[in-house]
Amino acid sequence: MHAGHWAVWLRHCYIAAVHDEPDPSVEPARWVALAEELTARPFPTTPTGADNWVVGQAQSGPDRHFAPLASSEILEDAPGERWAEVEDDFERRRGAVVSTLTAAWGEPQTYSFDRDFDRLIAGEALPTVIQDLTYCSFGHHADTWRRGDRTVCVVLGQVDKHFPIMVLLAVIMQPLP
């Protein structure tokens, strides 16, 4: 099998280590339109895209629309300076998304998933979408807006060192306390 075919085959098997090039980032002019589109879009009855969101690709399911707005390369073997550089860059990108949505919708609420993480560690069952956002955003907060019956979250996160850092736009049914 040709090397390119292996990469495609492996990517379909959700092996993050072959995610050598992140999806192109969403242009700033599209951030508000994309968020509004996702708040209006019905949630599918079955998940689409499996867990591709952890490698920087969009996913929808009965409880979510996850749209990574930007994702990095895999940094697993990168030196610490590179990690810091990427995280600073992506924090600036996250801030720009928040500023853009704030201009359109008003001030966000800040939500920390720290309490949810403690509950998960204690063995408490949480909705899957909250588990996913908690593991992704560990150590970072989410800026959130209620739009109708949905919550829009913008978070900087990374599920694990084997996955890209991303700026994630999440639209969920679950209100966050």
Q: Where is average pLDDT lowest: 6-10, 47-51, 61-65, 155-159? A: 6-10
pLDDT of 161 = 81
pLDDT bracket for residue 56 (50, 70, 90): confident
**pLDDT tens-place string over residues 127-137:** 989 999 998 88
Q: Is the pLDDT at 23 greater than 80, yes or no?
A: no
**Cα Rg of the chain (Å, integer):** 16
Question: What is the model's pTM?
Answer: 0.80
Task: Give me the helices (H) in the chain, please.
Answer: 3-12, 31-40, 80-105, 114-121, 128-137
Mean pLDDT, all residues of the chain: 80
* Nearest CA-CA partner of 50 in 87, 11, 7, 97: 11
**pLDDT tens-place string over residues 33-47:** 999 999 999 999 887
Q: Which residues contact 44 (CB under 8 A, 6 or more apart)?
A: 60, 61, 62
Question: Encoding tokens for residue 102?
Answer: 């704030």
